[in-house]
Structure 1
Amino acid sequence: MPASGPGEPRGLPRGARLGVDVGKARIGLAGSDPDGLVATPVETVPRVLEVPAGADGAPAVTADVARIAAEVDERFAAVVYVGLPRHLSGAEGAATADARDFAARLAAVVAPVEVRLVDERMTTVTAHAQLRSAGRRTKTHRSVVDQAAAVIILQSALDVERSAGERAGELVEQRPPGA
């Protein structure tokens, strides 16, 4: 395990982190530097909603999962944080189940890299507000709001890492395909 870097919380391995905002039509992707200090937007990935079964009966690897897995490899990511949308009350709904399913499929592909679920309440609302305050017209938000939400998800997780000295969120179980 590599030693911690200058800004790295003690005990956590060095390596980039990724933040993922799973939406119905698009997935926002953000990344950090190897020391996990600052989150920046990476791209918006089109969402694949139809998940066919693979030859072994497990869900097939869809283009959206494959693209994020490629980014994990390219950046030598240490962890991927996936936003978990909950209602303001904390209750889980259909979007929560969808994010959990996506995270499980991603975890199966990127293992042994950890995939963790982190609370993302209000991130899209905050992202829209930040884009407006930056002078961006509302009509142009669609192409970048998912990335902005992913940045908020990731930066929040990085802040938890620094303050608590441990990974944020809930670890997604890495099941072998077909399990």
Structure 2
Amino acid sequence: MKVTPDTPGADDPGNGRRIGLDVGTVRIGVAVSDRDATLATPVETVARETGLRDRDKADIDRLLAIIDEYDAVEIVVGLPRDLKGNGSASVKHAKDIAFRINRRLTNAGRPLPVRMADERLTTVAATAALRASGVSEKAGRKVIDQAAAVEILQSWLDARAAHKQELHP
């Protein structure tokens, strides 16, 4: 099944911090942008607790607390696809977390755009970057999800900047 990610720049909320999420079945990597939405940096790795049929648990609460803490204007969730653009089994998990965050923000009277971003090869790029910086594979496991979230968010920010440049050369 083809899975289509959102397009950066469409319905853009303007300047402000973005939160990037790399959703896994065990952990969720979190990254944040600066207020100008140009640079992504790692925040933390949240242990995944909420399953597909569970009520929201502490992981969702923590993600919402991070969104509030950074006063985010947009949430970017990695959409796991293969190189042909087909959804992997993890698509359900990413979409479920995005849905839960959107629902909770909306119910709290703070609706924010929750986007699905192409995350192909982000874990590969994150692993290569960690290896290049001298981080051991064992130590890297603790931060690989954050590094992947940074890659997801940075790709989104770069595409957003390119879109803005096309509109206003």
TM range (shorter): 0.7 to 0.9
Check conservation: 1:72, 1:110, Cα contact below 8 A: no
User: Greater relative contact order: 1 or 2 (C-alpha under 8 angstroms, separation 6 or more)?
Assistant: 2
Following the alignment from structure 2 to structure 1, what is the Cα–Cα distance between the partners of residues 88 and 13? 32
Per the alignment, in what secondary structure is the counterpart of residue 143 of structure 1? coil
What CA RMSD, in Å, does the superposition of the two structures yield over aligned residues?
1.6
Report the equivalent of 2:26.
Answer: 25
Q: Taking structure 2 as the reference length, what is the TM-score of the superposition?
A: 0.83
Q: Taking structure 1 as the reference length, what is the TM-score of the superposition?
A: 0.79
Distance change (3 Å), C-alpha of 1:132 and 1:162: same
Report the equivalent of 1:123.
Answer: 122
Check conservation: 1:51, 1:62, Cα contact below 8 A: no
Q: Does residue 149 of structure 2 align to residue 154 of structure 1?
A: no
Following the alignment from structure 2 to structure 1, what is the Cα–Cα distance between the partners of residues 76 and 51? 23
Deviation at 1:110? 2.1
Following the alignment from structure 1 to structure 2, what is the Cα–Cα distance between the partners of residues 91 and 50? 22
Following the alignment from structure 2 to structure 1, what is the Cα–Cα distance between the partners of residues 95 and 13? 24
Q: Does residue 127 of structure 2 align to residue 132 of structure 1?
A: no
Q: Does residue 15 of structure 2 align to residue 14 of structure 1?
A: yes
Per the alignment, in what secondary structure is the counterpart of residue 90 of structure 2? helix
Report the equivalent of 2:83.
Answer: 88
Q: Which runs of 5 or more structure 1 residues have no equivalent in the other structure?
A: 1-10, 54-59, 167-179
Segment drifting more, 140-149 vs 98-107: 98-107
Per the alignment, in what secondary structure is the counterpart of residue 100 of structure 2? helix
Following the alignment from structure 1 to structure 2, what is the Cα–Cα distance between the partners of residues 132 and 20? 21
Aligned residues: 150
Following the alignment from structure 2 to structure 1, what is the Cα–Cα distance between the partners of residues 112 and 63? 12
Per the alignment, in what secondary structure is the counterpart of residue 68 of structure 2? helix
List per-residue Cα deviations over 1:55-80 (Å, max 9, x = no partner): xxxxx322111111111111110000
Q: Which runs of 5 or more structure 2 residues have no equivalent in the other structure?
A: 1-11
> Of the candidates 93, 96, 100, which is equivalent to residue 95 of structure 2?
100
Segment drifting more, 42-51 vs 118-127: 42-51
List per-residue Cα deviations over 1:75-96 (Å, max 9, x = no partner): 1100000000011111112111
Following the alignment from structure 1 to structure 2, what is the Cα–Cα distance between the partners of residues 66 and 157? 24
Report the equivalent of 1:5.
Answer: none
Deviation at 1:146? 0.2
Query: Counterpart of 1:34 in structure 2: which amino acid?
Result: R
Percent of paired sites with the same residue = 46
Per the alignment, in what secondary structure is the counterpart of residue 165 of structure 1? helix
Report the equivalent of 1:67.
Answer: 62
